[in-house]
């Protein structure tokens, strides 16, 4: 038994869980959509659960819960063999592959115990940003090999547990990661060993459907310009350093109810025609689309939260005045030819920068301006294709950084249904996108309390978070 942090957490076990012995060798190539993320930091998420009974003791955790999680994980991995393997780069291959070797490979699983109060961690109010990091496993990567996922299950004395996952972005995007967790949970819910998955959770691994997509050659060029280091080692698998920003930082969760979203929508719609955006703001096209009949939850959430974030940062750090916003688009069912199925497992996302001016986010009508620009970008994607403008992405991105522009991003989705993931002991009390602390990113998820609501998680410095809280709630009080 080794102590990771003697004041808060103890490691009881570090093991590797492998698929059943009958599993065979598996090898799949990385597509160009995967290779874009080859050096990117792990995507980290934590699911927090309370025990079904307040009288549950630690023996239940160690003698029933953990063995059931291990058994069901092994069974699940037989459907997701690449996750039990590693990213390697054979000498005779131009690109890396994901390879599983029976008898050698498996998923790293840490069983830990924390002295921290689970109720404190479940609060939405700001907590020290570093607290959550104790409940996440380390994802190994080196010059020649990188793990695909790592897991950690942490006990909170007599109150509940958490499941933390660190996943390599070059193998799976958010939808794929959620599919795996849902599959694991579904096979864990019953004491008897069930081995079959429902059709929507059966992963589709065929890479040919991605290779056949047109114009993907520009992605590899783009990735080589964005996620690179100064060593010019083109064949390394070592993840680039994206250290968490933890010093004097806090993590908090905010909720936008359906009523809040409706209020923002009415405000944006009422000023839509009054607020003019310059066609020269657009880098990829000059089309300004007409006012829509309605606005999506995504547009409303992104415009409101990004503007609150920018104004909070500027209010505390007056020298930071330039901002931009980027988001990922799921390419599944995006009118690509051939169409990509919804259960495609891998990376099927591409990024877009919103065509705003750097000071738009701190303008009085910033929410309206940003909402219009996000709407225009989404319409452009629908009309011209998800890869429209990709060839200019790296140059635009680097130009913004050179000009001192803070690029805000978004992680997660309200469509993942993370609060429905039940391993057999109830739905999660909280789901946290922990890796948002590695950049100026906010995570979004469906609300656990209300259908149609949105949960937003972010990490900011203490003073900025305090002002963000004020701006966020004050803006929702305006009729």
DSSP letters, 345-402, are -S--EEEEE----TTGGGSTTHHHHHHHHHHHHHHHHHHH-TTTTGGGHHHHHHHHHH
Which one is catalytic: 168, 169, 352, 375? 169
C-alpha to C-alpha distance for 52 and 55, rounded to whole angstroms: 9
Look at the chain and count its residues: 479
Q: Which residues, including other chains, have CB under 8 Å from residue 63's CB and lie 6 or more apart?
A: none
- Rounded to an integer, what is the distance from CA 230 to the centroid of its chain? 27
Cβ–Cβ < 8 Å for 237, 96: yes
Active site includes 422?
yes
Cβ–Cβ < 8 Å for 245, 440: no
Sketch out the chain's domains with CATH numbers: 2-226 (3.30.559.10), 249-477 (3.30.559.10)
What are the helix (H) ranges across 254-324?
A: 258-271, 297-316
Q: How far is CA 83 from CA 73, 198, 431, 472, in A?
A: 11, 19, 22, 39
Cβ–Cβ < 8 Å for 16, 147: no
Question: Is residue 265 helix, strand or coil?
Answer: helix
Which pLDDT value is given to residue 223? Answer: 53
Q: Tell me how crowded residue 258 is: count the other CB atoms within 10 A of its CB.
A: 14
Joined together, the tokens standing for residue 238 give: 């070592």
Q: Which residues, including other chains, have CB under 8 Å from residue 29's CB and lie 6 or more apart?
A: 95, 97, 98, 207
Which pLDDT value is given to residue 1? Answer: 37
Joined together, the tokens standing for residue 176 give: 């794929």
Question: Is residue 49 helix, strand or coil?
Answer: strand
Strands 107-114, 149-156: pairing kind: parallel
Which pLDDT value is given to residue 281? Answer: 47
Q: Which residues, including other chains, have CB under 8 Å from residue 407's CB and lie 6 or more apart?
A: 323, 324, 325, 326, 353, 397, 400, 401, 440
Please list the ranges in the chain whose pLDDT falls under 70. 1-7, 191-193, 212-233, 278-287, 335-336
Element (H, E) at 152: strand 149-156
Cβ–Cβ < 8 Å for 333, 340: yes
Active site includes 173?
no
């Amino acid at each position: 038994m080794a102590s990771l942090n003697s004041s808060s957490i103890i490691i009881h076990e570090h093991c590797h869980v492998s698929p059943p012995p009958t599993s065979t060798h598996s090898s799949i190539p990385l597509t160009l959509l995967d290779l874009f993320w080859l050096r990117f930091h792990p995507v980290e998420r934590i699911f927090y659960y309370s025990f079904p009974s307040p009288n549950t003791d630690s023996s239940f955790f160690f003698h029933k819960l953990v063995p059931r999680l291990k058994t069901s994980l092994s069974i699940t991995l037989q459907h997701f063999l690449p996750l039990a393997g590693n990213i390697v780069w054979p000498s005779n291959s131009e690109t890396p592959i994901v390879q599983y070797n029976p008898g050698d490979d498996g998923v790293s699983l840490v069983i830990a115990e924390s002295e921290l109060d689970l109720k404190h961690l479940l609060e939405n109010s700001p907590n020290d940003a570093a607290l959550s990091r104790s409940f996440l496993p380390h994802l190994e990567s080196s010059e020649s090999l990188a793990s695909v996922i790592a897991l950690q299950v942490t006990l909170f004395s007599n109150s509940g547990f958490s499941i933390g996952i660190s996943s390599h972005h070059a193998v799976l995007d958010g939808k794929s990661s959620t599919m795996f967790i849902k599959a694991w949970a579904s096979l864990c819910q019953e004491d008897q060993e069930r081995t079959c998955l429902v059709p929507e959770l059966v992963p589709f691994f065929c890479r040919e459907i991605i290779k056949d997509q047109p114009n993907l050659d520009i992605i590899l060029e783009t990735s080589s310009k964005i996620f690179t280091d100064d060593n010019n080692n083109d064949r390394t698998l070592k993840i680039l350093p994206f250290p968490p920003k933890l010093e004097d930082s806090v993590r908090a969760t905010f909720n936008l109810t359906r009523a809040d979203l409706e209020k923002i929508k009415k405000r944006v719609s009422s000023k839509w025609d009054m607020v003019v955006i310059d066609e020269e703001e657009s880098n990829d096209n000059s089309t300004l689309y007409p006012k829509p009949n309605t606005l999506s939850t995504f547009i409303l959430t992104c415009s409101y939260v990004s503007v609150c974030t920018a104004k909070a940062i500027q209010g505390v750090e007056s020298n930071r005045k330039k901002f931009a916003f980027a988001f990922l688009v799921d390419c599944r069912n995006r009118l690509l030819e051939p169409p990509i199925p919804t259960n495609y497992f891998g990376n099927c996302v591409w990024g877009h920068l919103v065509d705003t001016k750097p000071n738009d986010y701190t303008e009085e009508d910033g929410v309206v301006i940003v909402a219009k620009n996000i709407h225009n970008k989404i319409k452009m994607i629908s009309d011209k294709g998800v890869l429209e403008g990709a060839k200019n992405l790296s140059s635009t991105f680097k130009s913004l950084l050179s000009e001192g522009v803070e690029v805000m991003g978004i992680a997660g989705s309200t469509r993942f249904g993370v609060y429905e993931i039940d391993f057999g002991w109830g739905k999660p009390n909280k789901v946290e996108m922990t890796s948002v602390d590695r950049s100026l990113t906010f995570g979004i998820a469906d609300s656990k309390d209300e259908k149609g609501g949105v949960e937003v998680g972010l990490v900011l410095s203490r003073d900025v978070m305090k002002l963000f809280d004020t701006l966020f709630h004050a803006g929702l009080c305006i009729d």
